[in-house]
Every structure is written in structure tokens, then in C-alpha cells.
């Protein structure tokens, strides 16, 4: 029973009850209340769950050598294996339900992603260039769009020290700015927004660009979410029906999501789709590998190409726009496709995450803590997985996305898209009013090239599973 039945492994996360694994590892029922050390029970649970599922469980410290008097978050960090080096990605949250919602793209937000840069030559002020406003978000409803500049939040000038915390309040007033030829300065326009719960629609933009005999499908995809699988299939159905023969997949803002959704997009793109043949494999820790193979067979960790009727079928190559925020499930798509077709990367190095996680929460509801530990590593059909470093995938064409104002998605002169179009057509991209627009462009000193969200705590770059090996 191959992984194709359970491969909803998000490169971002999904919660499930640990009791589903009791067939493999029975629960420890011996924990009792400890009034002397109030953290003893929850820390014992943290250790036991990590020992069961953690990819590097054989390198963990002994339970007796751990300090179970630490606060749960600190205890979790203390038992990770080489945190920040070998394990750069496992984390824990106080509220498992909030963690699960966030992994499914539901967050209380204004709804913008931006690039911070120095607004003046003295580098005392920062401006935020809006990369996009989420569809249906308070920011979009207030008219904030890609390319706008935010120079003040609640009347306060932005600096390199305060911009990442400026979005903390629920009620926000943005002061917008203009480029005056030398710096970004405040204008008279202010926008009031109030945070609200927003479900991310990952299909931020798609269009078809015609250049000579080339019909270029362009898709900006923000997160791999299973509830939008039907929608992404419809996008490719339209691409196919209209004769798209080149594809630009914009993943520069995509930090990951469900592995199952990345499998679908991979299967919609791949050249010479052969359903039922190997796409990728997963590697788990030694004890889980033995247990699952014994129960379900040696191919339980394999994922096959899917029979996607809207596979474009005509592609010899695909162009992927990347940044340091391109992570996990996004990188998995790249790795899946590499053995089968040319994958041309344009932009910056990717994040470098070839491992995935699951959400662990207490099925007895004794505490709210939720963990997102790394439990698996992915390899493609050739066994390749060499991008799991801080350098990630190296772009074919290194392009710094620091030209402001950001142009609309699909504009042939947009910084990264224009390079893809030039490679596809052999002709530099241009439009009838390009000269007038390009004169106003300025290259800036970017503070963060991964396009941060308004709240750094919501920045999830992960892949995770919804179903376990052998589950349908």
C-alpha cells in the first residue's frame, strides 16, 4: 500500500491524534501528577513522543539526563539534536489548535507580505514594499496592493529595529509613501485596517502571456493547501485548453504546505507523465521504518506519480521563480521534477528544507501544547536530496529582487518574470510603456530577501503529513 494513499504530507503541518499510532507504539500510561515539579508530566510526554517519532531519535539524550524541570518550550529545545545545525526546523507551540489552524492557512492577520528596505541614504528609516495582499484580507479590502509603500504604522516611523514588531496591535493605521527620486517619503494617504481571521487562498494570480508562438502559463502559488487542490487542477485545465506550451511557476512567496498538494502540482507539470511509477521516497527513523515496513510492506514510503488528466503534456522545461522564502513543499516540487525535465530556477537560493514534520498533540487533552518535530526526509526517484543545507537550491539565474516599486503580477517587466520570458523567447521583455515605467525604478538595500509576513510567528516553512504510512 504505497504512500500515494497517505501522502498528504504538508510542507507545512497538519494535526492528528497520536493515538492513531498506538498500533505501532503503545502509549505510556504511567505518568502521574507531580506537584513538586509542575512540568514533569508534560515534559515526560514531550520526550516520549519525540523518542517515538523524531527523525534523529537515536541521537537524543537519555531521558534521565534531560532536565525535566525546565518550562515545556525550553525542555523541547533542550532535547533537540544539534538545533540550528542538524535540526533547524522542529518547533513547539502552547496551543495545538492554533498551530493546526495556522498550518491550514488560517490566521488572524491584516494579510500582507512585504519586502523591508532602507528608505533613505542614511539608513535611519525603513519602508515596506508590499509584495501582495491576501485575497479577501482586511488589507486587500482596504485597497492595499502589490507595489504600495508603507512608511509608518500607527504614526510611528519604521526602522530596522521596530518594523517586524510594528504589526502587533489588532487595529493598525498605515501611512503610505512615494518615491521622490532619492528616498521614500510619506504622502497624505492613510489606511485603517483591523486584523481578522483569513483563510489563505494560495492561487494569488495566474495568467497566460503570449509571445510569438509561445503561450506562457504564469502562476503565483502561495501555499500547498489541500482544500484548493480542485482549484489548482482547474487552473491547469485552463492552461491546457488554451495551449500553454511554457510554464513559469512563481514560488518565491511559498514556504510549503501539504506534500499531497505538492504531488498534485508535480504531476500536473512533469514531462511524459507515467502514473504509477516512482516520484519520490521518504526516510523515517530506524524504529518507525522497521515497524511500518513490517506492517505494510517495503514500498510503504514510496510515492508514485498521480494520474492527472490536466497534465500539460507539452513541457520540456519549467521555470521556477525562487527566493530564500521558497521552502519545503516548494523545494519538493523542484526535486520531484529534476530527474524528468529541465528545471530552471530564477531568483535567489531557496531555503534548504528537505525534511518534513507532523503535529503531535495530547489526545487526552491534559495540556494544549502542540509539537511540530521533524520526522522524515524526502528524496526523489533517483535518491537525490542534496538541497537540505542553508544554501538550498542554487538558482540557474541569480536575480536580486530589489527593484521598486514592485510591478503587478503578470507584468512582463516584473523583475523575475522578465528574466523567465527572456529565456523562453530569446528576446528581452518589454511593453509599449516600458521606458516610461522603468525610469521610475530604484534598486534598494533589502533587509530581508525572504519576503517576511506581517507577523514573524506566522512564518511557517515546513512540510507535514495528514495521514500516516499505510493509512488510506
- Note the pLDDT of residue 442: 80
Name the phi and psi angles at 51, rounded to 5. Answer: -65, -30
Q: What is the pLDDT of residue 96?
A: 77
Nearest to 76 by CA among 87, 95, 90: 90
Mean pLDDT within 30-42? 73
What does the DSSP assignment read for 372-416?
Answer: E-EEEEEEETTS--TT-STT-SPPSEE----EESPPPTT-TTSHH
The least confident of 25-39, 71-85, 160-174 is: 25-39
> In the structure, what pLDDT confidence band is assigned to residue 21 with cuts at 50, 70 and 90?
very low
Output the nine-digit C-alpha cell for 149. 509603500
H-helix or E-strand spanning residue 257: strand 256-258
pLDDT(321) > 90: yes
pLDDT above 70 as % of the chain: 86
Q: Cell numbers of 275, please?
A: 502514473
Q: Does the pLDDT at position 460 exceed 90? A: no
Report how far apart the first and last C-alpha atoms of the chain are (Å, whole number).
9
pLDDT at residue 28 above 70? no
Query: Cell 510594528 maps to which residue?
Result: 166
Average pLDDT, the chain: 87
Global pTM reads 0.87
Q: Which of 50-59, 289-298, 458-467 has the lowest mean pLDDT?
A: 458-467
Alpha carbons 153 and 145: distance in angstroms, whole number? 16
Q: Give the pLDDT of residue 10.
A: 36
Set of cell numbers at residue 354: 528537505
pLDDT at 12 (0 to 100): 37
Question: Which three cell numbers, joined as nine digits, stand for 285?
Answer: 527513523
Q: Are 338 and 388 in contact (CB under 8 A)?
A: no
Cross-strand pairs, 357: 374, 464
Strands 214-221 and 246-250: parallel
In this prediction, residues 221-244 reach a mean pLDDT of 97
Q: Which residues pair with 192 in a beta bridge?
A: 173
Which cell goes with 105? 492557512
Q: How, if at all, do strands 156-157 and 112-118 pair?
A: unpaired
Position 135 confidence tier, pLDDT thresholds 50, 70, 90: very high
Domains, the chain, with CATH or none: 110-199 (2.30.42.10), 203-353+378-428 (3.90.226.10)
* CA geometry: angle 151, 156, 160, nearest 5 deg: 65
The CA distance from 364 to 361, in Å, is 9
Question: What are 341-365's pLDDT values in tens digits?
Answer: 999 999 999 999 999 988 899 989 9
Q: Cα–Cα distances in Å, from 53 out to 212, 288, 332, 373, 381?
A: 53, 7, 21, 8, 24
Amino acid at each position: 500500500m504505497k504512500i500515494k494513499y497517505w501522502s498528504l504530507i504538508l510542507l507545512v503541518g497538519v494535526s492528528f491524534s497520536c493515538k492513531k499510532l498506538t498500533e505501532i507504539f503503545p502509549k505510556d500510561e504511567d505518568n502521574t501528577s507531580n506537584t513538586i515539579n509542575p512540568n514533569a508530566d508534560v515534559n515526560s510526554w514531550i520526550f516520549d513522543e519525540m523518542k517515538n517519532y523524531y527523525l534523529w531519535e537515536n541521537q537524543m539524550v537519555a531521558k534521565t539526563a534531560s532536565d525535566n524541570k525546565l518550562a515545556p518550550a525550553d525542555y523541547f529545545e533542550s532535547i533537540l539534536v544539534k538545533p540550528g545545525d542538524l535540526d533547524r526546523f522542529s518547533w513547539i507551540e502552547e496551543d495545538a489548535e492554533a498551530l493546526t489552524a495556522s498550518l491550514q492557512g488560517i490566521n488572524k492577520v491584516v494579510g500582507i507580505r512585504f519586502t523591508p528596505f532602507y528608505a533613505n541614504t542614511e539608513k535611519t528609516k525603513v519602508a515596506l514594499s508590499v509584495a501582495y495582499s491576501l485575497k479577501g484580507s482586511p488589507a486587500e479590502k482596504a485597497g492595499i496592493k502589490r507595489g504600495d509603500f508603507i512608511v509608518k504604522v500607527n504614526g510611528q516611523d519604521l526602522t530596522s529595529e521596530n518594523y517586524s514588531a510594528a504589526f502587533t496591535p489588532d487595529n493598525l493605521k498605515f501611512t503610505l509613501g512615494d518615491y521622490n527620486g532619492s528616498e521614500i517619503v510619506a504622502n497624505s494617504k492613510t489606511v485603517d485596517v483591523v486584523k481578522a481571521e483569513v483563510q489563505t487562498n494560495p492561487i494569488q494570480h495566474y495568467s497566460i502571456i503570449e509571445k510569438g508562438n509561445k503561450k506562457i502559463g504564469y502562476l503565483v502559488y502561495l501555499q500547498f493547501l489541500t482544500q484548493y487542490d480542485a482549484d489548482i487542477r482547474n487552473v491547469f485545465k485552463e492552461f491546457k485548453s488554451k495551449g500553454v506550451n511554457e510554464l513559469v511557476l512563481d514560488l518565491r512567496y511559498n514556504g510549503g504546505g501539504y506534500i499531497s498538494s505538492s504531488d498534485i502540482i508535480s504531476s500536473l507539470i512533469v514531462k511524459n507523465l507515467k502514473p504509477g511509477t516512482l516520484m519520490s521516497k521518504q526516510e523515517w527513523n530506524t524504529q518507525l521504518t522497521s515497524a511500518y515496513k513490517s506492517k505494510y510492506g517495503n514500498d510503504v514510503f514510496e510515492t508514485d506519480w498521480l494520474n492527472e488528466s490536466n497534465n500539460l503534456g507539452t513541457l520540456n522545461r519549467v521555470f521556477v521563480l525562487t527566493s530564500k522564502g521558497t521552502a519545503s513543499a516548494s523545494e519538493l516540487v523542484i526535486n520531484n521534477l529534476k530527474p524528468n525535465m529541465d528545471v530552471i530556477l530564477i531568483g535567489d537560493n531557496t531555503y534548504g528544507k528537505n525534511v518534513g514534520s507532523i503535529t503531535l498533540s495530547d489526545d487526552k487533552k491534559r495540556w494544549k501544547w502542540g509539537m511540530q518535530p521533524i520526522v522524515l526526509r524526502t528524496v526523489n526517484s533517483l535518491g537525490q536530496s542534496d538541497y537540505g543545507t542553508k544554501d538550498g537550491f542554487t538558482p540557474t539565474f541569480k536575480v536580486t529582487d530589489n527593484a521598486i516599486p514592485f510591478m503587478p503580477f503578470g507584468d512582463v517587466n516584473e523583475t523575475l518574470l522578465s528574466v523567465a520570458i527572456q529565456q523562453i523567447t530569446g528576446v528581452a521583455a518589454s511593453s509599449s510603456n516600458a521606458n516610461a515605467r522603468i525610469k521610475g525604478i530604484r534598486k534598494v538595500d533589502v533587509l530581508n530577501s525572504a519576503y517576511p509576513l506581517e507577523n514573524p510567528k506566522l512564518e511557517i516553512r515546513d512540510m507535514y503529513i495528514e495521514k500516516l504510512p499505510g493509512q488510506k
